[in-house]
Amino acid sequence: MSVSARPEPRPAGRRRSAKAQWNVWLRWVHTYTSMISLLIVLFFSVSGITLNHPEWTLGIQEVKRTVSGTLSPGWTDQGKVNWLAVAEQLRADQGLKGRAGNTTVNGGEADISFLAPGYSADAFIDVKTGKYTVNVLEQGSLAVFNDLHRGRDAGTGWRWAIDLSGLALTLISLTGIGILLFLKKTRRTALTVMGIGLVLTVALAVHAAG
């Protein structure tokens, strides 16, 4: 009956060398950063592909609609538009969503836009009567997917998510390279392949820019 060999325990009081400690730290950061960011990295990987192919629709169609109504009294104050009151009423009456902004008043017409990933709504208001028309464009889930990748109209929280994802990818890449340097048997081959990949990437970038 064979007994599997087990590594001998390190003698008490004996500390790892600085090189060994560095290797352990790299592996720890690489492993747990990968685990924490796995799903969001997968999201940006897949959405990067769909973003690179704007011709792909996957059968999803844009939906355009126009709604109209009249604002309740109080949407102006001493001749000035109360944009907060306007935005709140339009959201309540027409179910508009997204960030309200891009407000303008030009002659007898006031405009306000609502923007969200894959979504836009442009409201045009008659300053004298308070009557409005809203053009709503819903581009579908694929457009939402792509706009989230860009960070377009997604809000501050999602911008933080993008920054943290970029930081996680940076750590994963750097610690992966660091771990590679400790693998004596495959280090030379791996570095050669990485160098070839770098040259090809730079060549493609130069070709695309030219």
Computed from CA positions of residues 142, 145, 150, 154, in that sequence, does the dihedral angle turn out positive or negative?
Answer: positive
User: Is the model's pLDDT at 144 over the cut of 70?
Assistant: yes
Supply the pLDDT for residue 1: 43
> In angstroms, rounded to a whole number, what is the distance separating the alpha carbons of residues 109 and 51?
36
> In angstroms, rounded to a whole number, what is the distance separating the alpha carbons of residues 56 and 60?
9
Quick: pLDDT tens for 67-93.
999 999 889 888 789 999 999 999 999
Supply the pLDDT for residue 5: 46
Supply the pLDDT for residue 77: 82
Count other C-beta atoms under 10 Å from residue 34's C-beta.
Answer: 16
| Boundaries of every domain in the chain | 18-55+144-209, 63-139
**Alpha helices (H) along the chain:** 18-51, 83-94, 141-150, 155-180, 187-209
Supply the pLDDT for residue 3: 45
Residues with Cβ within 8 Å of 149's Cβ and at least 6 positions away in sequence, in order, are 43, 44, 47, 48, 50, 51
